[in-house]
Amino acid sequence: MKTSLQSLVIADMTENQKPRSTRQIALDIIEKTGQPTNSTCVSTVMQTLKNHRDHALEITGPAGNRQYRLKSSLKEITQQVEQQLWALRRARGNA
């Protein structure tokens, strides 16, 4: 079964948090999965992610030399805070 390029990009960017170019992201995906892609395809995915409400995309650098990094989504941050609150409640309950 083929994995969608968007899923591969999200997985790669989640694993590697440093800002990278679409070319570098494409090369990393090819190296890890063997699935063919290129920077143009990855760039198209970036445009989709930029407009997607569940993913916060940090874009830096001048036009033609953009760097991309996937930030935690609001949903993920909310889940992390809720988990920490439940851990605190359990700790207080056991004290």
**Residue 5, pLDDT above cutoff 70:** yes
Distance separating alpha carbons of residues 94 and 71, to the nearest angstrom: 35
Query: Is 73 in contact with 56 (CB distance < 8 Å)?
Result: yes
Q: What percent of the chain has pLDDT over 90?
A: 11
Average pLDDT of every residue of the chain: 82
Is the four-CA dihedral 64, 34, 18, 49 of positive or negative sign? positive
Cβ neighbors of 37 (< 8 A, separation 6 or more) are 5, 8, 26, 29, 30
The count of domains in the chain is 1
Range of the domain at 82: 5-94
CATH of the domain at 33: 1.10.10.10
pLDDT digits over 29-64, tens only? 999 888 889 989 998 888 887 777 656 777 888 888
